[in-house]
Structure 1
């Protein structure tokens, strides 16, 4: 499944276009590597998503095409949430 679609279906990010923008800005890592919106993710992959000054680390537990709002929490496990004091160099856009 594409990364942007997973983020939308799981409701980690509410809109697919926003998920694409976040990925294109280099703010998502999949298993430690920068990921594009079109990157393919699978069960067991670890995502690191930077939301402003917060980094959320989650593991993909299930991939589903359609899911009810109440079932979205079954799709992933939050492993860590941390607030950033400084910019993490692994999230800095190399092209800027």
Structure 2
């Protein structure tokens, strides 16, 4: 088991983001933070790190549980724990009128 892993690879292997190229683009746009710091695609993640990912209409906060070079679909969800999922329109104080 790896001790550290590139952010873009972790997102792909864990299936938080299905494709590494998409993970790389999201990170390059500054939409991913690790422990409160904006992360680049090559930033290393390790168990215990908190990831905040802004996907279009929602923001997902997850904690890295473990790292694996390759994970089957069933094992991928064990690589992280979702802490929260927030719809961004609720964050901005807008109500659904």
**TM-score band w.r.t. shorter chain:** 0.7 to 0.9
Between the two proteins, the alignment pairs up a number of residues equal to 88
**Residues 9-49 of structure 1: CA deviation (Å, up to 9, x unaligned):** 00000000000000000000000110000000000000000
Q: Alignment partner of 1:85: what SS?
A: helix
Note the residue ranges of structure 1 that are not aligned, 5 or more in a row. Answer: 89-96
The TM-score with structure 2 as length reference comes to 0.87
Q: Which runs of 5+ in 2 are unaligned?
A: 93-97
Aligned to 1:15: 19
Q: Superposition pairs for residues 31-46 of structure 1, below 5 Å?
A: 31-46=35-50
Structure 1 stretches of 4+ with a deviation exceeding 2 A read none
Provide the TM-score with structure 1 as the length reference: 0.88
Q: CA-atom RMSD, angstroms?
A: 1.4
Q: Which of 20, 26, 29 is the matching residue for 1:25?
A: 29
Larger radius of gyration: 2
